[in-house]
Chains A and B, each alone.
Chain A
């Protein structure tokens, strides 16, 4: 389950925010927000995508680097809400 979510989120980030990037470079622990790969608008887009695709709601305080900075963290957050 987690692996499926991770793959889907990874695909979304690559397509939306890293066009042309080698998927191998987007590792599970790569910081996304603190490197500027996801800026505030991109982060917002990601949150909207996650809510729509998985039918979940993210609280305002969850849309930050503590919860969304890496693929691992995003996956854990989404998987936790889907239980």
Chain B
């Protein structure tokens, strides 16, 4: 039987009891021994409240040491943790917790009232543990103190196929859907990270992604497996390139992981030339395509580091990776490949019917292996649609992403299956138009959508934000595109904004753009 997700942390706490486990800027830090003890207390309380193996426990907290301790306490009790976005509407968070019937939820006091009201409206039976405040683990300790002394409970070692966490992502139906990941899924991914990134107890990991975002799995669980320090980054700091660059320098971050969009800002506005970020050795990014011009700027300001483009949906976590060879050539404009399939998984490219396609042709990337989710919570039909079963009975997760294997074993991302449109009979990949727009010197952000149109069949709208507030004219943009794109790919409209709308995980919010279009 493979060890559960929390086992590696428990062992690290034995080996490195005095090492700093988690740092929270402005709120101190906690050692491995302290974090282990605090999470034991959470386990004890949860068990005393009747939480057992197989239950779900929610947490609704801003990013803080309290949250990390809560997460491990939930795992130790044998339950799966369900983190929700503290910035999301309380109704959505109540829906999520009700949907997967969490037994207990850890909630910050200032978020409690509206959350309780929403739970009541749904008729949800959730026991709420209120943290009077959060930060440094002290709010959690206070909540545990006021709950009284719970008898010491046993740490549960769930089987590999038991759920470790459920991450909710936006669903096409309008209701969020819960991606169920087991201990076996998570541990296979964490072990793969250990192999490829070779972390040590000297490392200091950034924790930029919020806990409800799958990037956090790498930050938290890889860091705390190896005796390294996890540097929590608050939501406010996480959006501010100046403060982020300062934090990377001051906290001696050695392994960075985030979506590319914030790294683009750090490269442009982080004043990196004047900061000592010499501790940084590895830069990981995932979640969307990194515009090459910003990646070039970043790698020129931070040379001599390893850069990895990681790719994967929440359903598999990272499933392919590509190490970028430096320098980024001056004339390169094409985004980097997503690379090869991780060693704990297998991949294949198939057509609409699930049939493998010839090398070099576009198709949908499908993934199987130990890292692939169990399914969506209480959505058997959507789960069934998400997979196809081959003639050998192997279940493959359909990523919905179109890729091409342009070198043996190395994939290049072409875009979402659902972002491919036909225009005037031609196949148009919206991502390709975006890549073209990013080549314009005045373009800071570019996102392209297609909307149905009675006259033209489909109209292409480019949403743009300009560097330093620049807004080139329509004629200028049309001319520029006509030099780079086939006519049928030139957007019909160019809509300029100060900033493009983002999701809670800092990706461009295409849903919102469609509403604006």
Q: Give me the interface of A with B, judged by CB distance under 8 Å.
A: 18, 20-22, 25-26, 30-31, 34-37, 39-41
Contact = CB atoms under 8 A, between A and B. Distances in A.
Of B455, B474, B481, B487, the most chain A CB neighbours within 10 A belong to B474
Interface of B: 424, 455-456, 473-476, 478-479, 481-482, 487, 490, 492
Contacts of A21: 473-475
Nearest to B492: A39
A36 B455 contact: no
Contacts of A25: 473, 475-476
A36 B490 contact: yes
Contact of B456 (A18, A20, A30, A39): A39
A35 B487 CA distance: 7
A60 B127 CA distance: 74
Of A25, A31, A36, A37, the most chain B CB neighbours within 10 A belong to A36
Contacts, number: 37
Given A41-B455, A41-B456, A36 B487 contact: yes
Chain B residues touching A, majority SS: helix
A35 B456 contact: no
B476 A36 contact: no
A34 B481 CA distance: 10
B478 A37 contact: yes
B286 to A, nearest CB: 34
A64 to B, nearest CB: 13
Nearest to A38: B478
A25 B455 CA distance: 27
B496 to A, nearest CB: 10
B437 to A, nearest CB: 13
Given A34-B487, A36-B481, A39-B492, A26 B456 contact: no
A30 B475 contact: yes
B147 to A, nearest CB: 62
A22 B474 CA distance: 9
